[in-house]
Amino acid sequence: MSGDATKSLTRVEKAVRSKMVSAWNNIKYGRTMFKIELKTSFSESTPVWILGKPYHRSKPRQEDESMPKSEIMAFESDFSSRIWFTYRSDLRKFSGTDLTTDCGWGCMIRTGQMMMAQGLVMHWLGREWRTNKQPADNPTPSPDRQTSVKDRIHRDILRLFSDVEISSPLSIHNLVRLGRNIGKGAGNWFGPASVAYLMQLAVANFQEYQSLVSNLAVYVAQDCTVYKEDIVSMCTVSRVPKETVIQDFAVLETPTHLDTMQYSFSEEVIVEGESWCFEEGGSLVPDPNWKPLVIFIPVRLGGERFNPLYSSCLRSLLTLPSSLGWIGGRPTHSLYFLGFQEDDLIHLDPHRLQPAVDTTGVNFPTHSYHSSAPRKISISKMDPSCCLGFYIRTRDEFECWCQGIEEFATPSPVEGRSQYPIFSVAQGRGDGVGGRGEEGEWSSLPEETETQEDIQSEDFVFL
């Protein structure tokens, strides 16, 4: 058989194999698996925590008080408002491949997108924001919602991660493209540290062009250490534009004479003849000389298995208002952890295949970006490799975080011996790996390990 014929046969074999894998993934991760939603049970005797907020099912009723709103309903509303990214089908082809889905290999990227999206929700909408759920069979918003600023920002955040818009900075296509710096591509598995660096790089590359990330800093810790001088240099700005434009509406700068820690962001603003109002949170910059900050901290909590010594630390970190949770999972299965009850972690799972959403329309459907089915996994089953996330809005909040965070990140003494913290905060600068160097150029990202053992423990390979 000639060489050309052999090459042609090889291409045919690859195409057939790709189609077979795609068909299997459609069955394995498709919607048929989720037609019957399994109800996760929660204890009524202990609180449920989600990203710094506690919910208690058996909250007592006071004699003179009307029946309080159900805590479990409040928890469900909170959980379903977190942005959920999953495997998608019918994507445009990834460069250099015939792949039109991330099914079976993109779970770590999807969980990284979820944690970054939560940072953007905190930044633009605030922790108390809740989505108005749209039923899948009627995704068109009601007329009053069509004029909601927060609803439009919600969609603008989703567009940053769009699977169909080429210009989306945090799309899986763009992150995979940036992954070439570490020898990764579509069909490969990414570790939590690599995904964190790719998020940092993607935000930095688009800050001049995308207003939703223009006043946001993303920092990735080095060797489990947060270097204060690096963050101060990254977050300190000489000026803030007087007006930040988000597509077809604007958000005005916070008046600098106000006490920014107490400012409610409820002031009415007139934009292009229309009245807009932020009821809480919002993108208004509380300190014109400081960029709000997302911190990613890649860590490894054990050798082959998760070290239970760190269980209480992880749970305590989830009680902090600044927490974005973490990405990791169990071996071969990446998850986004955002809450806990007792020894069980509450997570969002990206392993559901859904059709790609056309986000180019003004009121595109958002129901597939939110899940109403919380899942739990025992903390003992977690893989030791993960990446923690935090959102810090002001310089004062950052200083307070630095002063107190190691107490939360340090295990209790064992037999009178002090334990090392999960991560630490240090003065000075790091070595610049994965960040901007002295000349403003981006250095290369850290190489992923190549051994099968490392791949299984760090990159969560899906076989």
pLDDT at residue 250 in the model: 36
Q: Quickly state the pLDDT bin for 240 (edges 50, 70, 90).
A: very low
Higher pLDDT, 210 or 254: 210
Taking Cα atoms as reference points, which of 84, 107, 106, 86 lies closest to residue 94?
Answer: 106
CB burial of 106-127 (b: ≥16 within 10 Å; e: otherwise) equals bbbbbbbbbbbbbbbbbbbbbb
Could you tell me if 356 and 91 are in contact, meaning their C-beta atoms sit under 8 angstroms apart?
A: yes
Which of 89-98, 125-134, 249-258 has the weakest average pLDDT? 249-258
Percent of the chain at pLDDT exceeding 90: 55
Query: What is the residue-averaged pLDDT of the chain?
Result: 78
Average pLDDT on 291-298 reads 97
Q: Which two tokens stand for residue 368?
A: 């597939």
pLDDT: which is higher, 262 or 74: 74
- How far is it, in rounded angstroms, from Cα 328 to Cα 330? 7
Residue 307, pLDDT > 90, answer: yes
pLDDT digits (tens, 9 = 90+) for 340-353: 999 999 999 999 99
C-beta atoms surrounding 340 within 10 Å? 25
- Contact between 54 and 341 under an 8 Å Cβ cutoff? The reply is no
Q: What are phi and psi of 452, to 5 degrees?
A: -60, -35
User: Which residues are part of the catalytic machinery?
Assistant: 107, 349, 351
